[in-house]
Structure 1
Amino acid sequence: MASKDFFLVAAIDFGTTFSGYAFSEVTEFQADPLRVSTCTWGSSTNSVMSLKTPSSILFRPEKTFDSFGFEAEDKYSNLSLDNMHRSWFYFRRFKMMLYNSKDVHRSNLLKDETGKEMPAIDVFAASIRYMKDHLGDFLSRRSTQIRDNEIRWVLTVPAIWDDAAKQFMREAAEKAGIDGQALLLALEPEAASMCCKYLPVERMETRIECFSPRSKYLVLDAGGGTVDITVHEVNPDGTLKELHKANGGPWGGTTVDQAFLDFLSEILGADVLQTFRDGHRDDYIDLLREFETRKRAVKPDSDSRVTFKMPISLHELYRKMKKAEIRDAVRDHPKYGGKITCAGDKMRVDADLIIALFSKTCYAIVKHIRDLLQNTSTRDTSTFLMVGGFSESPMLQDAIKKGFPDKKVVVPPDAGLTVLKGAVIFGHNSKMIVSRIAKYTYGFKCWQQFDPSIHPKERKEVRNNRYEVQGCFDKIVEVGQPVSPDSPIGPQQYSPQENEEWFSAKLFASPNKNPLFVDEEGTLRIGEVEVDCRDDKGNVSSADVYLIFGGTELEVKAVHSDTGRETKAKFDFLG
């Protein structure tokens, strides 16, 4: 979609913990790229107001969509009060499925909070559709008359996701009613980088020069589920190139939530906490909301106790299951005795215990960055940009600053919205990132003539009256190699088998630089594309296959050897 074809860019940041959308018109972007509009969300049961809403979705018993975000949480809580929630489908923090699953398919099922299953793509599509429709209503209330075909959509995805997960999100968005031709996928740390590039110096906590030509900086995008890291260098013309393949891990803010639940389980018993979660969903949701608020205020130098409201239902359940009181359990606990007190429905916890909930997560992030900076291409990186909701945590900021005292650490204002606003900017100017680093060694599965110096003799077969080896890895791109969407990789020439009019190109990826076979340990089947080799008269010849790397999504094209006819094809990563 060319710029003249759309009047507004709308971005959806679909996060593990929270989601939101933002938008700007073309004229607004031209006047000020940071002039981006967002929506304010709130809960009907308390005074919570936020620029994002929880990534929670509720379906009716017949699996039709009911509500999303705060509304879904509130309604599910009310249903559980009347013990009517068990037949409903309630999903929260389900985005991590696409990171944790090593085998993403269209047919994947997703378990809700009580173990009931629905097709994952239906859950994701309904979530995206809700955001899309909510934006439409928002624009209508503003009397902004823009048709669907005048909107360019941007959907954020972690840079560490594989191609199958990205395709899954694209297909979910298309199922939600977004035209695939109008949809871009933006890598989250890159979007954040683009937002920071436009921030004026007076809005930053400290003066930075990381966007001057030839400078290098690291983007630490710490969200709810994952930590996504990229390292960029600024080209003389202001465009950006990636210096190291996207990396990171599952060390987002939800790991601190899990540490809190483990802490409660250690005090109360896993059986009590599980029964509380299953039987008192409303109070369980309130408890997690309360911790979400409390954890944002935890500082490394805190010395005062942190107070939590413990639901009365939890006290009653503990009394029923353990024949004792929670206050007695914390008083007599061999590890926590004297560090926790209970009074009424309040639990007061020593600051050092709450601070300790962050230690494992912060250690993992610091260690990963330290290992990353050992690479020759990243060693002289001088500035860290911390973005994403978890980057607003004083605990994580302190861990990064202490772990890297020689680096300049910058946390932009509203770090939790940086990705979302940057995604809008990316939609207006998606050509800012001109070069990325290949995350794997990519190659096609093929037959090769048997070579006793490299091929095991047990793999040789007789084919076409000679010894050949099947399942060989025909390398196209090597891991760590710079790739650009403007420079297709190839060509690799392939021909159909005898009496065939097409061939199937099966793409594989390996973490190794020089894999020999596609069945080596660690090698993944990425996708498959079929190429028609007939010309206009029905004659069959070979075709040159090019891979277009460097964009946010992998593309392929085939050029007919005789006619020069170009065929655009798409890999199926979900087959």
Structure 2
Amino acid sequence: MSSEDYIAVAAIDFGTTYSGYGFSTIQDYSVDPLKVTSCTWTSGQIMSLKTTTTILFRPDQTFDAFGYEAEDRYNDLSLDNMHTDWFYFRRFKMMLYAAQHVHRDTPLKDETGKEMPALVVFSECIRYMKGHLMNNLERLLPEVQPTDIKWVLTVPAIWDDAAKQFMREAAVKAGIDGGRLLLALEPEAASMFCKHLPVERQGATSQITCFSADSRYLVLDAGGGTVDITVHEVNRDGTLRELVKANGGAWGGTMVDKAFVALMAEITGQEVLDKFHEKHQDDYIDLMRAFEVRKRSIQPTSEDRITFKIPISLHELYREMTGGEMRDAVKNNQKLNGKVSFAGDKMRTDATIIKALFEETCTNIVDHLRQLLKNPQTAGTRTILMVGGFSESQMLAAAVQSAFSDLRVVVPHDAGLAVLKGAVIFGHNSHVITSRIAKYTYGVSCVETFDPKKYPKERMVIYEGRYEVRKVFSKLVEIGQSLSPDSPLEAKQYFPRGKYDSMEVNLYASPQKNPMFVDETDAIYIGKMHVDCKDHKGRVSGAYVSLIFGDTELRVKAVHDKTGEETAATFDFL
């Protein structure tokens, strides 16, 4: 898409806990790449640059509300006991990471266990944010049309190809033109943002500049659900190259939330807490919102007791179900006695109890960074840039700073908007990443002549007098290989079977460098490549197929072997 094709870039940052959007015109970008317009969301006393990733559907499964509005609306329904037939989804993005196999018809459970198609839920979220964004953009550019916009949707880099395709199809279902849509990998978007930050002192002067050529920096994108990590080197021309494959894990801020819920369950008992969640959704949401505020403000040096307002409904429910009082429950708990106490509707806890909620996620992140920085490919990395909403936690920042005191750890202002702003920058200049590292070894299934020196005897089959080996992993790309989005692999010739006028080629991935067969235990079937074998006159022939692995999405290109005409070729990972 050339600069003449659009006048503005609009990005939707679809997060596990919070979501938002931003946009900038070509003119904005040319003056200051960091000048990105976003939205301020409000709910009661809350004002933020993102809203909660929460969506509410009516009993007939039609859309009702999104974000804080969905939370508040569901609260009201709950107070009137009219919520039981409604569909209420929150923090559901991680389903695409946790699911073994994601399909177009994969169901998604709401907070009470009722199911809707996941594709509908995701697409309605995107549709809402798209509409909200367009309303704001039209105030600045009254004549703007959807065809004037290049769209960007963020996805975690550690997601597989099926999850990425799922998000693309959800966006298309939401009314975004697929030809005008880019997927941005979240840590890469954050890196694009960080690349423009003044972080280096120039010589002995006091001038602060952006990263210079040959600089290497690690971007730690800590969101609500996932922690995504990438390491980039600045090329001489200002572009970036990836040094190690995108990595990370499900160690985001929601791990701390789960630890807090586990603490509450230890006090009340799991049965009481589950009933509280079910019967008093409004109070449960208020409790978790209050914890979110505390989560951001708690510091490693905190020693004072921390106070939480506990809803009266939880005390009453505990009384009703157990016949006791919560204040007595903590006195009888050896681990919590003297460290947690109740006075009226207030729960007072030692700072050590709350700080302990961060231990598991901080340990996972620090241990992973240690292993990553031991990799020879990351040698020379001197800076860790912490972005994402969870990076604003002083507990996490302190843990990383303490573990890597020899490195410069930077948490930029508005760290929670780094991915969003970087996604807009990526939309304006998606070619700035010149190479990426293959996450897997990719290949296709093929048949080869049996070679007793190469293959085990039990793999031999006899077909029409020939000794063959089937399901051989024909390697296309090796794990760890540096790949450019502008350099397709060498084309391979494929032929349709029998009387078919198209062909499907199965694509596989493996964490091994040299897998032998596609049915090995750790080999993964990831999808089909579909190629149309008819030319413009309807004649059927073979095709030369080349794969492009170095982009944010796996792409395929095919040409007829007789005419050289480009033909339709697509991937289907769902």
Q: Same fold (TM over 0.5)?
A: yes
Q: Distance in 1 between matches of 2:96 and 2:309?
A: 34
Structure 1 pair 496–406 and aligned structure 2 pair: CA distance change class (3 A): same
Aligned residue number for residue 448 of structure 1 = 448
Query: Contact 1:223–1:252 at 8 Å: present in 2 too?
Result: yes
2:130 corresponds to which of 109, 129, 132: 132
Aligned residue number for residue 339 of structure 1 = 339
Q: Distance in 2 between matches of 1:151 and 1:174?
A: 14
Q: Distance in 1 between matches of 2:536 and 2:51?
A: 54
Aligned residue number for residue 102 of structure 1 = 100
Structure 1 pair 244–210 and aligned structure 2 pair: CA distance change class (3 A): farther
Partner SS state of residue 442, structure 2: strand
1:282 maps to amino acid: D
1:257 maps to amino acid: D
Structure 1 pair 307–324 and aligned structure 2 pair: CA distance change class (3 A): same
Cα shift at 1:500: 4.1
Aligned residue number for residue 86 of structure 2 = 88
Q: Distance in 1 between matches of 2:185 and 2:430?
A: 11
Structure 1 pair 207–422 and aligned structure 2 pair: CA distance change class (3 A): farther
Q: Distance in 1 between matches of 2:413 and 2:101?
A: 38
Q: For 1:139-169, what per-residue CA distance to the aligned partner results, in whole angstroms no more than 9, with x for missing partners?
A: 3444633111111110000011111100000
Q: Distance in 2 between matches of 1:380 and 1:472?
A: 40
Query: Contact 2:233–2:241 at 8 Å: present in 1 too?
Result: yes
1:441 maps to amino acid: T
Partner SS state of residue 308, structure 2: strand
Cα shift at 1:107: 0.7
Partner SS state of residue 431, structure 1: helix
Partner SS state of residue 377, structure 1: helix
Q: Distance in 1 between matches of 2:173 and 2:222?
A: 29
Partner SS state of residue 490, structure 2: strand
1:52 maps to amino acid: K
Q: For 1:4-34, what per-residue CA distance to the aligned partner results, in whole angstroms no more than 9, with x for missing partners?
A: 1111111000000000000111111111111
Q: Distance in 2 between matches of 1:537 and 1:379?
A: 56
Aligned residue number for residue 545 of structure 2 = 545
Aligned residue number for residue 460 of structure 1 = 460
Q: Distance in 2 between matches of 1:565 and 1:449?
A: 32
1:192 corresponds to which of 190, 201, 214: 190
User: Aligned pair 1:152/2:150, yes or no?
Assistant: yes
Aligned residue number for residue 406 of structure 1 = 406
Cα shift at 1:47: 0.5
Gaps of at least 5 residues in structure 2 are none
Cα shift at 1:370: 0.8
2:392 maps to amino acid: E
Q: CA RMSD in A?
A: 1.7
Query: Contact 1:210–1:217 at 8 Å: present in 2 too?
Result: no
User: Aligned pair 1:380/2:376, yes or no?
Assistant: no
1:333 maps to amino acid: N
Aligned residue number for residue 182 of structure 1 = 180
Q: For 1:265-306, what per-residue CA distance to the aligned partner results, in whole angstroms no more than 9, with x for missing partners?
A: 111111111110011000000000000011100100100111
Q: For 1:506-528, what per-residue CA distance to the aligned partner results, in whole angstroms no more than 9, with x for missing partners?
A: 11111101111111112111121
Aligned residue number for residue 48 of structure 2 = 50
Gaps of at least 5 residues in structure 1 are none
Q: Distance in 1 between matches of 2:394 and 2:499?
A: 66
Cα shift at 1:404: 1.1
Cα shift at 1:464: 4.7
Cα shift at 1:408: 0.8
Cα shift at 1:532: 3.1
More displaced 10-residue stretch of structure 1: 259-268 or 210-219? 210-219
1:171 corresponds to which of 161, 166, 169: 169
Aligned residue number for residue 480 of structure 1 = 480
More displaced 10-residue stretch of structure 1: 83-92 or 189-198? 189-198
Q: For 1:302-348, what per-residue CA distance to the aligned partner results, in whole angstroms no more than 9, with x for missing partners?
A: 00111000000000011111111111112232111111111110001
Aligned residue number for residue 268 of structure 2 = 268
Between the two proteins, the alignment pairs up a number of residues equal to 570
Q: Distance in 2 between matches of 1:208 and 1:162?
A: 38
Partner SS state of residue 300, structure 1: coil
Query: Contact 2:444–2:473 at 8 Å: present in 1 too?
Result: yes
Partner SS state of residue 217, structure 2: strand
1:117 corresponds to which of 115, 118, 127: 115
Query: Contact 1:57–1:127 at 8 Å: present in 2 too?
Result: yes
Matches within 5 A, 1:235-246: 235-246=235-246
Aligned residue number for residue 522 of structure 2 = 522
Matches within 5 A, 1:196-235: 196-201=194-199, 211-235=211-235
Q: Distance in 2 between matches of 1:139 and 1:235?
A: 34
Q: For 1:425-454, what per-residue CA distance to the aligned partner results, in whole angstroms no more than 9, with x for missing partners?
A: 111111110100000000011111111122
Structure 1 pair 378–363 and aligned structure 2 pair: CA distance change class (3 A): same
Q: Distance in 1 between matches of 2:88 and 2:273?
A: 19
More displaced 10-residue stretch of structure 1: 377-386 or 181-190? 377-386
2:223 maps to amino acid: G
2:241 maps to amino acid: K
Query: Contact 2:239–2:433 at 8 Å: present in 1 too?
Result: yes
Query: Contact 2:535–2:567 at 8 Å: present in 1 too?
Result: no
Structure 1 pair 431–197 and aligned structure 2 pair: CA distance change class (3 A): same
1:175 maps to amino acid: K
Query: Contact 1:201–1:207 at 8 Å: present in 2 too?
Result: no
1:306 maps to amino acid: I
Q: Distance in 2 between matches of 1:357 and 1:535?
A: 62
